[in-house]
Every structure is written in C-alpha cells, then in structure tokens.
Amino acid sequence: MTARTKTSTPVIAAATNKNTMQNKIKNIIKKLSRFGYHVKPKNSRHTDPVCGMEATSDIFKSTYNGQDYFFCSTHCKGEFDAKPQEYAK
C-alpha cells in the first residue's frame, strides 16, 4: 500500500482567487473614481496632496522631481498633474 501525499493545488487555487479578487477590487475603485467618488482604502499609508485623504500606493501615482505622490482618485491625480508645483512639498 502506498502512502498518499497531499497536493498543493488548494493552496495555489486560494492564492489565485485572492489575486483575482484584489484585481477586481482595484478595477472597481478605478471605475468609481472616474465618477468622482473618493475611495478610502483600509490599510493606506499615504496622504493625497490634493484633498488630504488617505491614498493607496498602487492605484493612482505620479512622480514629480523624483518623488512619488499618491492619490485617492483620478480627479486628484489630474489636478496634481496639471499643477504639480502647487501641491508638491
């Protein structure tokens, strides 16, 4: 009788489902921001220089004078990109 070994298929499937869900959430946030909705992320560490809200680091980002700035929506990113010298610290 041979011993059965457990396969890692459920672990891989769970990781794939998590990544898929994260991508879906990012897409929903992007779509909402196009309509002017500001989405406050749960675990953010950056402050939007335009409106002062917390911003995620992987969705809306601009670089000015070698420094990265993060935004809560496409509206705030567009405002910053139009006049970065007014918002850059």
Give the number of other CB atoms < 10 A from CB of residue 70: 22
The domain locations on the chain are: 10-87
CA dihedral sign of residues 27, 89, 66, 45:
negative
- Residue 69's φ and ψ, nearest 5 degrees, are -125, 140
Task: Report pTM.
Answer: 0.52
Give residue-wise pLDDT tens across range 32-85.
Answer: 777 766 665 555 578 899 999 888 666 788 999 999 898 888 899 999 999 999
